[in-house]
Amino acid sequence: MPSERRATPTLLRDLNERTVLDTIRSGAPISRAEIARRSGISKPTVSLALQSLLQAELVRETAERPDGPGYGAVYFEPVAEAAVVLGLDLGARFVRGALCDLAGEVRARQDVELQAAEAAEAIEAIERLCPSLTEAAGLDPARIDTVVVGVPGVVERRTGVLRVVENVAGLDGRPFESELESALGLTVRLENDTNLAALGEQWQGVAHGVDDFVFLSIGTGMGAGVVLGGELHRGRHGAAGEADFALIAFEDVDPSAPQVTELAGGDPRAVFGAAREGDKAAKAVVAEVARRIALHVAPFAAVADVELVVLGGGIGANGDLLLDPIGRQLAEWLPFPPRLEVSTLGEAAVLTGALAVGVEAARENVFSRRG
């Protein structure tokens, strides 16, 4: 009982300081009186919380003022560079990287081309990219709090081992997370790339404000990121959304780029281009691709009743040709078909999602370490 009484003031102090910090982040520049008004915390308590946050260099006074009279008030803003996040998107031909601060502002953005699609080359590329980004941003590398990497496979949450990786040799079954941590000397978090693309669209894309949606990536392969109740659904093994396996018992349902090539006997970009020009054979191929995509969307819509399906990837980007036929097909099959949209982030979706995850983690970390 005495230990509980001792813990209570600490818990209340943490709660007040967190609330004040969140209020400043959402309303900066903001005065002490306005913080108290918005948070519902008394002015003396706000003053104590501000003192702690100022000492921890998580907030600072600012000369910037909101519109309207200030009456000599002091205004506060968060220190965005209190920590930075490194986001990475590992593909078969490249590593995309970006540094962003706690406000979500990208400070540097670079890509590195891979000479070979293999794990060792990917680690070396990431090792080169990390210092290059901090130098370009003019930031101290010690400011990097979290590294989030989007990878083309299933990440086992318990072990950090990658599974079901097809387009980067040597990654399948590898403890890639711990290897990167050793190479960079930083905390690394791996996440499936399509899951991150979904979170990117939720943070800054077409799914912003949507609680139940699916991001369906259709390119060299297929995958889905599933967001339910506003949270990413990973499943027991981290394999939720592996759409390639959803219809594995059926033939001729894959709408990915290799299958489009097989259907049309040509490059998918050329096929969609010819369809836009009115070529009948190309239009027939596109119609079949739309049907196959609808087959993959239907189970998500029927089981989870999602509001939105976002199409991404090289094939999914052809919304002008695909959205209407997919929508018509779903309307025939389902009583409540979801809304369909094309990704507004495009190739940046995975990287944006990595930064979103990293910013959330880094904000929590700097607050926990403030003492």
What average pLDDT score do residues 291-297 get?
95
Amino acid at 362: A
Rg (CA), the chain: 24
Q: List all residues 6 or more positions away from 105 whose beta carbon is below 8 Å from its beta carbon.
A: 80
What is the rounded distance in angstroms from the CA atom of residue 111 to the CA atom of residue 125?
10
What average pLDDT score do residues 275-303 get?
95
- The band of 68, judged by pLDDT with boundaries at 50, 70 and 90, is low
Report pLDDT for 5: 47
In total, the chain counts a number of residues equal to 371
Report pLDDT for 89: 98
Q: Is 158 exposed, middle or buried (0-12, 13-18, 19+ CB in 10 A)?
A: exposed
Strand 30-31: give its sheet, edge to edge.
30-31, 75-78, 59-62
What is the percent of the chain with per-residue pLDDT over 70, rounded to a whole number?
Answer: 96
Q: What is the mean pLDDT of the chain?
A: 92
What average pLDDT score do residues 289-313 get?
96
Residue 16 has pLDDT above 80, yes or no: yes
| Top-confidence residue, 236 or 204 | 204
The separation between the first and the last C-alpha atoms of the chain, rounded to the nearest angstrom, is 25
Taking the CB of residue 280, how many other CB atoms lie within 10 A of it?
A: 9
Report pLDDT for 70: 57
- The band of 48, judged by pLDDT with boundaries at 50, 70 and 90, is very high
pLDDT digits (tens, 9 = 90+) for 83-92: 999 999 999 8
Backbone phi, then psi, for 145, in 5-degree steps? -95, -40
pLDDT digits (tens, 9 = 90+) for 304-350: 999 999 999 999 999 999 999 999 999 999 999 999 999 999 999 99
- The band of 30, judged by pLDDT with boundaries at 50, 70 and 90, is very high
Sorted by where each starts, the structural domains of the chain and their CATH numbers stand as 2-78 (1.10.10.10), 82-197+349-368 (3.30.420.40), 206-344 (3.30.420.40)
What is the rounded distance in angstroms from the CA atom of residue 233 to the CA atom of residue 310?
16
* pTM as predicted: 0.92
Strands 162-163 and 154-155: antiparallel
- The band of 205, judged by pLDDT with boundaries at 50, 70 and 90, is very high
Report pLDDT for 187: 93
In three-state secondary structure terms, 308 is: strand
Residue 3 has pLDDT above 50, yes or no: no
pLDDT digits (tens, 9 = 90+) for 124-162: 999 999 999 999 999 999 999 999 999 999 998 778 788
| Top-confidence residue, 3 or 58 | 58
Judge contact between 163 and 245, C-beta under 8 A.
Answer: no
Report pLDDT for 215: 98
- The band of 4, judged by pLDDT with boundaries at 50, 70 and 90, is very low
Strands 213-218 and 188-192: unpaired
pLDDT digits (tens, 9 = 90+) for 250-272: 778 889 898 888 888 889 999 99
What average pLDDT score do residues 13-33 get?
96
Report pLDDT for 302: 94
What average pLDDT score do residues 235-244 get?
85
- The band of 69, judged by pLDDT with boundaries at 50, 70 and 90, is low
DSSP string covering 44-93: HHHHHHHHHHHHTTSEEEES---SS--TT--EEEE-GGGSEEEEEEE-SS
Residue 180 has pLDDT above 80, yes or no: yes
